[in-house]
Structure 1
Amino acid sequence: MTHRRSGRARLALATVALAAGLVGTAAAPAAADPAAPPAAAGSVTPQEETQLRIKVNQLLAAGGPNVRASAQKVLDADNAEAYVEFIEHGFFVAQGADDRELVLAAQANGSADTRAACDRALKGSLAELHAFVTTELPRLLETDDRVRATQIASVGGPEVKAAAGRALRGDHAAVKEFLATGQYVARAKDEAAAKSAKEAEEASRKEAERKAAEAAKDGQPATATLPVTGADAVTFGGAGLAAVALGAGLLVAARRRRSA
């Protein structure tokens, strides 16, 4: 009976941890009695074992890569003792590994403030590390992302500036979406607009050159080709009459000199 009671005690410990919401938070792993023997296969009822398996699946679904891998091994083992061990201890170790990877990535890519905060967190306990990951780190990452989006907007075209503005007015998810994909979509639009404007300018220049070439090939100077009408005709007629009169006068004068 002692063997059965020890196994049920460990099951009760895991159940209490779950009911109190300790699993998945910054709480430290529950301390297991090192003298307690492992739970026997018949230590829990089928219903209790099913509940434990459900909890492990829930942790797998919500966890990071290390938690998922560890939980899957436990599920593959398919026994109550493995479930209890994971819930009491294995989960926290795997979660610590996931937290550490997140912090190291943030440290490698973050601002000076983010790097310093990550360095401090990595020196703490698993519980302190998880508290940092769930509270302070998200704020630091959002600040870094907003700075990046602002920098991109400052050197971007109209579409990039507009997309960045919309993202910065939104939440962190909107900013991350802009950095991951939105900036590239907007940049492509700016590049397409610039290309279209350049092509239109080039087409206009070529059309102007074509018209100039045709005019030079087929046309005459404007003064020779324009018809003489209206006021220009009067002016032209007056000038012609004056030239005729002048010619006649010169002819008469010449004759008079010869007669003399």
Structure 2
Amino acid sequence: DQGRAVWAYKTGGRAVREGAAAALLGTPAALTAFLTTELPVARAEDNRFAVLSSLSGAGRSVQQTASAALSAGDEAVAAFLRDGFAAPVLEDLRVSVFSALDNGGTAMKREASKALNTNTKESLETFLRTTQHTAQQEDEQAAVFAILSTASPEVKKYAERALTDGSPAAIRLFLSSGQHIARARDEETATIEQLVEIVEREGKRAKLTTDKAVAFSARAKEAAEKAKIAALEAAAEAKAAQQDVRKSAAAANNAA
């Protein structure tokens, strides 16, 4: 009996260990009572605690199956812990892999499909623990190359810097924020260049207007000079004509 109690202590949960320890330190009658009546109750308590503890981190299928077992009684809980969890765990793993398949890039879809086709707990867990991360890195690097193929100057500089670094952190930083900062700088540069073009264009237009004004002023000045000369000539001609009239009048008087 002591051997059974010791084994129960080594393999049991908290309630079983406490009961086994008390029985081993007690009388033979206490040891017998523990093994015959107290141990099943303590084991059922530990089983329920184990199932309840697993619910917070479990998937939907495991939660539903575990809740059903808890409602059905101690035997159902024990059956769930023996092997009843296997099918719902596999289902939850498949759901997680399908989620990665639906939302991932080319590499992610490829590796997720492999895991789903193998359809073992090990293949699905391996994908979720490691393979999906390497696939994501491959997809992110491909995304950087795609951006680089049509990149503006600053974006190209940032993309090449990330690819040269090559680390997943550098690639992810470029995709999450670096490319947007680079685009903003390209737009800022483009805006400055546009302003320079406008200033240069307006400067040329102002110079053309000034040149036209100068030419117009020169023509106006020339016209004024010509008008002045014409006026002087007209005045001279008028004066000459006046003198001719006087001469004619004097000649007429003399003739009379």
Q: TM-score, normalised by structure 1?
A: 0.50
C-alpha distance in structure 2 between counterparts of 1:165 and 1:139, whole Å: 24
Alignment of 1:155-170 (within 5 A): 155-156=147-148, 157=155, 158-162=157-161, 168-170=166-168
Q: Which residue in the other structure is 1:57 paired with?
A: 52
Cα RMSD (Å) of the superposition? 4.1
Alignment of 1:39-50 (within 5 A): 43-45=40-42, 49=45
The Cα offsets for residues 179-209 of structure 1, whole Å up to 9 and x where unpaired, read as xx86243332232222212211111111111
C-alpha distance in structure 1 between counterparts of 2:179 and 2:69, whole Å: 47
Q: Is the 8 A contact 1:164 1:183 kept in 2?
A: no
Give aligned-pair identity as a percent.
Answer: 15
Larger Rg: 2
C-alpha distance in structure 2 between counterparts of 1:99 and 1:184, whole Å: 28
1:101 to 78, 95, 104: 95
2:135 to 127, 141, 144: 144
Q: What secondary structure is seen at the aligned counterpart in 2 of 1:62?
A: coil
Q: Is the 8 A contact 1:159 1:189 kept in 2?
A: no
Q: Which residue in the other structure is 1:188 paired with?
A: 180
Extract unaligned runs of 5+ from structure 2. 1-7, 14-36, 149-154, 219-256
Q: Which residue in the other structure is 1:117 paired with?
A: 114
Extract unaligned runs of 5+ from structure 1. 1-10, 17-39, 123-128, 225-260
C-alpha distance in structure 2 between counterparts of 1:62 and 1:84, whole Å: 20
CA spacing shift, 1:201–1:115, aligned 2, 3 Å: same
Aligned length: 171
Q: Is the 8 A contact 2:158 2:174 kept in 1?
A: no
Q: TM-score, normalised by structure 2?
A: 0.51
Q: Which residue in the other structure is 1:130 paired with?
A: 121
Q: Is the 8 A contact 1:107 1:119 kept in 2?
A: no
- What's the offset of the Cα at 1:101? 2.8
C-alpha distance in structure 1 between counterparts of 2:54 and 2:163, whole Å: 36
C-alpha distance in structure 1 between counterparts of 2:163 and 2:63, whole Å: 35
1:89 aligns with 2:83: yes
Identify, as 1 or 2, the structure richer in helix. 2
- What's the offset of the Cα at 1:79? 4.5
Q: Is the 8 A contact 1:107 1:115 kept in 2?
A: yes
Q: Which residue in the other structure is 1:66 paired with?
A: 61
Q: Point out which structure has higher relative CO (alpha carbons under 8 A, 6+ apart).
A: 1
Q: Which residue in the other structure is 2:243 paired with?
A: none
C-alpha distance in structure 2 between counterparts of 1:52 and 1:211, whole Å: 87
C-alpha distance in structure 2 between counterparts of 1:197 and 1:70, whole Å: 60
